[in-house]
Amino acid sequence: MKNFYFNKFKLKNELLKVIKEIGYIKPTKIQKICIPLFLEGHDILGIAKTGSGKTASFVLPLLNKILLNNNNLQVLVLAPVRELVIQITNSFILFSKYIKNIKILSLYGGQKYNIQFLGLKKKPNIIIATPGRLLDHLKRKTLNLLKIKFLVLDEADEMFKMGFINDVKKIILNIKFKHQTVLFSATMSEKIKKIIYRFMKFPKEINLSLDNYKNILPENIYQYYCLIYSYKFKLNILMKFLEIEKFNALIIFVRTKIFTVKLSNFIEKYGYICSPLNGDMNQNLREKIINDFRNGKISILIATDIASRGLDIKLVDLIINYDLPIDYNSYIHRIGRTGRFDKIGKAILFIEKKELKFLYNLKKNIKFKIKKISIPNNNILLKNRIDKVINLIYKKFNKKINKDFYKNILNIIKKKLNINKYNLNLILLDIIYNNMLFKIKY
């Protein structure tokens, strides 16, 4: 293939073949810099925008470097959320399609221990895990990290925050072998960077974000804020946006687990196909929801920050921050679920009057334009509804319909009612309009 730029890396043919197959032509900036450094054996701290291809930056060189036909656990990848562990695992599986005798296993909470014991018995070469469950296996001695050669921490800054840091430290202490450590994230505070450096050997720092937020988000996410005068109106305003925004897949971020369920139940009544996603749900359900969302079976996901890190779902083209994120980083990661790899995305932040200070500081910090968006007014809503009715009729206009069947009905109506065509049309339109789930009165 002409202009296939991955040839420049010294990667196995088995890998180049898959890269071609899935249609990657050019490496992204982070891949271009990281892959050679990784292959040369450096420790790396890679900081680059959300959606810029960090996963392949470690998966490809790892698959290239791993020794095959042995039973040693050589690679450990840690990530903060189960769904991300699954996503990374799938990436390993995809890229190793033509590599024989490689064993990949994922370990995360909520998955049955029996399945994990069986997987471990097969002596995997690569494990992708959440820290909690991995530590659990270390304690049970069902796993050891003595032969680990490569340690990867995805969403590294998150992994060194409260809630993960102690587990991560314990895990690292269990790695005896001299290993290469590679960390990735889109955001990284100086404070966390200092802690991280203690765990690395002369790391190469690739910071495509240049220590400020300017390069942290793709330019192709259009950011807006909507001023909400009172909490009381918030839900109603959300419903208005749902009606007028065109989207394939939307994530609405809210603060509490319980509200994900409440909001989802509410929205569902208006005909939207949606689902909550939160950490209290059982693992099978969580996986099913993410799969359905990925495949377009669910079009709205109402989630806590559980869905804010790392998830790469191509269809997501709208993010609504219904509740404020806890900090700027969380904002970056939440809206970074859209606009992935050159796709266009839109993000709307709901902001109450009393929260305006957050917006002010956010704007100052991220140096990105966040434009004001008005609450959709009645004229816009009405126009939108009319357009939808017209569109519906237009679609039918081009399609075959069972004319004889409807002619029959028309004849019956004519016989029973003394009604002219014009009035009948009006009545039919009224029926259509009222059946289009425009149940909200404005």
At what angle are helices 231-244 and 378-397 packed, to 10 degrees? Answer: 30
Choose the binding region for Mg ion from 88-96, 233-241, 252-260, 310-318 (rule: CB under 5 A): 310-318
Residue 28: half-sphere exposure toward Cβ, Cα within 13 Å: 20
CA distance 360 to 74: 47
In whole angstroms, the minimum distance from the beta carbon of 323 to ligand ADP comes to: 23
55 binds ligand ADP (CB under 6 A): yes
Binds 27, which of ligand ADP, Mg ion, none (CB < 5 to 8 A, cut-off by type)? ligand ADP
5 binds ligand ADP (CB under 6 A): no
Q: Which of 224, 341, 368, 433 binds ligand ADP (CB under 6 A)?
A: 341
Q: Which of 34, 53, 175, 303 binds ligand ADP (CB under 6 A)?
A: 53
333 binds Mg ion (CB under 5 A): no
337 binds ligand ADP (CB under 6 A): no
**Alpha-carbon separation of residue 56 from 18, 61, 64, 89, 354 (angstroms):** 12, 8, 12, 12, 42
Q: Scan residues 183-242 and list those touching ligand ADP (CB under 6 A).
A: none
CA distance 75 to 318: 35
> Which residues 6+ apart lie within 8 Å of 273 measured at CB?
297, 298, 299, 300
Q: Scan residues 317-336 and list those touching ligand ADP (CB under 6 A).
A: none
What mask, x for binding Mg ion by CB under 5 A, covers residues 47 to 66? -------x------------
340 binds ligand ADP (CB under 6 A): yes
Q: Which is nearer to Mg ion, 33 or 370 (CB)?
A: 33
Beta-bridge partners for 302: 252, 276
In whole angstroms, the minimum distance from the beta carbon of 271 to ligand ADP comes to: 30
Torsion angle in degrees (nearest 10) through CA of 361, 362, 367, 372: -100
CA distance 42 to 51: 23
Q: Which is nearer to ligand ADP, 241 or 331 (CB)?
A: 331
Q: Which of 15, 35, 44, 56 binds ligand ADP (CB under 6 A)?
A: 56
Beta-bridge partners for 153: 78, 183
Q: Which is nearer to ligand ADP, 207 or 284 (CB)?
A: 207
Helix (H), strand (E) at residue 92: helix 82-95
Which residue's structure tokens are 């839900």? 235
- By CB under 6 A, name the binding residues for ligand ADP: 24, 26-28, 31, 50-56, 312, 340-341
- By CB under 5 A, name the binding residues for Mg ion: 54, 310
